[in-house]
Amino acid sequence: MNDKHKLQRLLKFLCTLMCVWMLQGCASSTKQSAVASIPANLVEPCHELSPLNGSTGADILPWAVGVVGKYNDCARRHSALVNAIGE
């Protein structure tokens, strides 16, 4: 093989290497959208609160426990959503 063929092969290799190198640089600099990576359960609306029926302690206590549980679930999902968007 003469020097001209060796030089042509080297130039082809270097051009290919540069193209691959440039494409990898572009791929690593693009950031994936946070919206695409948010789990579906984090974008669900919070549960509606049931109305309070009655005015005795026996009526209020189970209602309040349910409201606190629904609030904690909603707050946990909201916090996870904020963290997912902030990444």
Residues spanned by the domain of 48? 34-87
Do the Cβ atoms of 54 and 60 come closer than 8 Å?
yes
Amino acid at 20: V
- Is residue 41 located within the same domain as residue 23? no
Phi and psi at 8, nearest 5°, equal: -65, -45
- Structural domains of the chain, count: 2
- Is residue 87 located within the same domain as residue 46? yes
Question: pLDDT of 19-69, one tens digit each?
Answer: 566 667 655 555 555 556 788 888 889 989 899 999 899 999 999 999 999
- Is residue 7 located within the same domain as residue 48? no
- Is residue 19 located within the same domain as residue 53? no
Look-up: residue for tokens 């309040």? 64
Phi and psi at 56, nearest 5°, equal: -95, 165
Do the Cβ atoms of 35 and 73 come closer than 8 Å?
no
Q: How far is CA 61 from CA 8, 12, 54, in A?
A: 84, 78, 11
Q: What is the pLDDT of residue 27?
A: 56
- Is residue 25 located within the same domain as residue 38? no
Q: What is the pLDDT of residue 20?
A: 65
What is the pTM assigned to this prediction? 0.53
- Is residue 25 located within the same domain as residue 61? no
